[in-house]
Amino acid sequence: MHTITRTVIGTAGAAALSVGAFAGVAAAAPGGSVADSPGGFGAFLLTSGTDVAGLTCSPDAGTHPDAAKACDSIRAAGGDFNALSAQANVACPLNYMPTPASALGMWFDGNGAHVVNFSNTYGNACVASAGSGGVFGF
């Protein structure tokens, strides 16, 4: 229990620092660079189960193993994590191993900046990945 508490506090602290850093990156962008980033751009701290990944979109980068695919899914959903499309033709095992997933960050588009604070519990890690278009696939 002690380790879990430290992990949660560490993740929350990292998320707070990350959101502040992302806001600075967006503010420094010349001319609102949304016009240079079709579909918008953003930066997120993602968790899936006990794993954590950083992700920036436009440019697509970070510690996420497939940043381009994850960012394409986020752009297709307009930065709305509740609207992420599931991947087609993915067969996941039917074992139930609840996998919490979350995203904290900022999304910038033609309508301005939007805070992202998303969380969901998926049936297992495969479902988390497939159900989020690969965003939580790490």
Residue 39 pLDDT: 74
Q: Where are the domains of the chain?
A: 2-131
**Model confidence, pTM:** 0.74
Block means of pLDDT (10 residues each) for the chain, length 138 residues? 37 46 45 56 97 97 98 96 95 97 96 96 98 97
Tell which CATH architecture fits domain 2-131: 2-Layer Sandwich (3.30)
Q: Are the C-beta atoms of 106 and 23 separated by less than 8 Å?
A: yes
Residue 87 pLDDT: 92
Q: Which amino acid is at 92?
A: C
Nearest-CA neighbor of 22 among 87, 86, 104? 104
Residue 14 pLDDT: 45
Two tokens at 51? 């794993």
